[in-house]
Structure 1
Amino acid sequence: MTKRIGITNQKGGVSKTTNTINVAGGLADRGLDVLAIDMDPQGYLTHRLGFKEAYKADSPNFADALNSPSDYDIRNLVVTHDEYDLLPANIDMFHLEQELIGSGMRPRLRLSDVLESVDDWDVMVIDSPPSLGPLNDNVVLAAENLLVPVEADESSQLALTHLLRQLDTLEDNYGAAIDILGVIVSNVSYPLDNEQQSSIDWYEDRFEGRVPVWIIRSRAALKRAVKSGGSVFADDAEDVDMAAVYAEIGEEVAP
């Protein structure tokens, strides 16, 4: 069966898209067939991977499929990237998110319905929006396996606490079994200042013996790889030490 991994945190600026690109790249580098899914209405993953036109495409598109899951086959909406496949976001997902707010429980299972019986890929990596709204809930409930990107600061610690409470609520309301596979501390600059060190210690203490906590250092080569539309595993990517960390993540979460 296809393994689904959601990359989620309601806080913006924690490198969700950068981590999605590179986790998907690391899994593909292991020889797995990977589908990256962009569930963020802002479409950062879609744009970063070079599919701006798909983001503005008329029907049929991903927003249509989420609105009427039984009417669309997402295999027909997938585009091919050099490293892995992509189900691109669409600008109409902004309207969909507003429609889903306050619409009850079932709309939070739309992505699960869309992906039901789709097993063409070994693993799906899902980039979520920066909110605790219905689209993020869709990611969590469809994947049930999560990687949580954070930064080494107090605001990320607070956001993580809110996320964990939300996961408890979703488990209670939907009978889900949600697993955090690991925490990715992004954009870490050395030497560490007191806030960064304190935050990293907090993450490691909070998850000690439960899940890995990976450190992604701030690297210009990492940013250049994403800017050029690929991961640190792309054929034309520069050598960067963070590739080893993403390879380790891929090894940990691979099906």
Structure 2
Amino acid sequence: MAGAARLCVTNQKGGVGKTTVAINLAGALNELGRDVLFVDLDPQGNATEGLGLLEAYDDDPPSLLDGLVDPAGVELDALRREHAEMDVVTSNVDMNAAESTLVQEPDGETRLDTLLDRFETDGDYDVTIVDCSPHLGLLTDNALYATANLVIPALAEPTSKRSLELLFDYVGALEMDHDVTIEPRALVANRIENTRAATEMLEWFDEALPSVPLFRVRKRVALQRAFAAGNSVFAVDEETDMTEVFLDVAETVDEQCGPREVPA
């Protein structure tokens, strides 16, 4: 039995444009004809805002936190919003209590996996994308465990070396704790500028992670305007050369992951 391919977009270093990458990857997959479920697991709700759904951030319960606490019992339509390009499980102000709440729950790091099973059965999605919070902890554990496929946005600057080392150490520990394999599927060098330091970092990315496809996203105002309009760059009436980059990312991860095998 086949289920939706799953991807999480994460980097514990803030300010790398993680949510912009996640939204535009989802938009690119939609452009390829895939039915996409987007999960905003970040308590800050940046993707919820960037998809034009900010009003959901202050909705009354049930919220995504309720879905993580009781993944088998929550009403799915209470958590999901329709968007022109994808269905969205929005974040909510209640998610600020997620870490302290889930740490008290048995198997608190695996709740998202159960919740996604229900969403994917209900919605018959091809791909699920999880946008993570910009730090490591139980929410990121949930995303990594549930998806097992990793898209990493990183800036082309020296500080990315340390953040990637920390991320891979963390992933390795989670793999050992839960006997799972988590695969890095794409490294997205984001907001690239024409500097010598950026060129050197792109070379370092290639050398340090030779088996991980590297994609280059340059700074474009069109990406910011699409975010402000509540869409990916594919759903606005403005052309940019970065659409081809995101389509390349989407085609690569779509081919790598394919449908996920689930128990019958």
TM-score, normalization: structure 2?
A: 0.91
Q: CA deviation at 1:99?
A: 2.6
Please provide the CA RMSD for this pair: 1.4
TM-superposed CA distance for 1:237, in Å, is 3.2
**For residue 58 of structure 2, what is the aligned residue in structure 1?**
56
Percent of matched pairs sharing the same residue? 36
Q: Distance in 2 between matches of 1:228 and 1:90?
A: 20
What is the CA distance between 1:200 and its match in structure 2?
A: 1.1
Q: Within 5 Å, which residues of 2 pair with 1:51-200?
A: 51-101=53-103, 103=104, 106-117=107-118, 118-119=120-121, 120-190=124-194, 192-193=195-196, 195-200=197-202
Whether the 8 Å contact between 1:62 and 1:74 is mirrored in structure 2 is: no
Q: Deviations over 1:114-170 (max 9, x none)?
A: 112433210011100001111011111111011000001121111010000001001
Q: Is the 8 A contact 2:69 2:105 kept in 1?
A: no
Measure, in 1, the Cα distance between the counterparts of 2:162 and 2:106. 26
Shift of 1:85: 1.0
Q: What is the SS of the residue equivalent to 2:234?
A: coil
In structure 1, stretches of 5+ residues that fail to align are none
| Structure 2: distance between partners of 1:129 and 1:81 | 21
Q: Which 5+ residue runs of structure 2 have no aligned equivalent?
A: 259-264
Distance 1:248 1:128 in 2: 22
Give 2:251's aligned residue: 251
Equivalent residue, structure 1, for 2:262: none
Q: Which amino acid is the alignment partner of residue 9 of structure 2?
A: I
1:190-229 deviation per Cα after TM superposition (whole angstroms, max 9, x unaligned): 2x23x21221111111121x12110100011121111111
**Moved beyond 4 Å, runs of 4+:** none
1:74 offset after TM fit, Å? 2.9
Residue of structure 2 equivalent to 1:40: 42
Pairwise CA distance, 1:189: 1.1
Moved more, 108-117 or 6-15: 108-117
Q: 1:73: how far off?
A: 4.1
Q: Which residue of 2 aligns with 1:214?
A: 215
- What residue in structure 1 maps to residue 25 of structure 2? 23
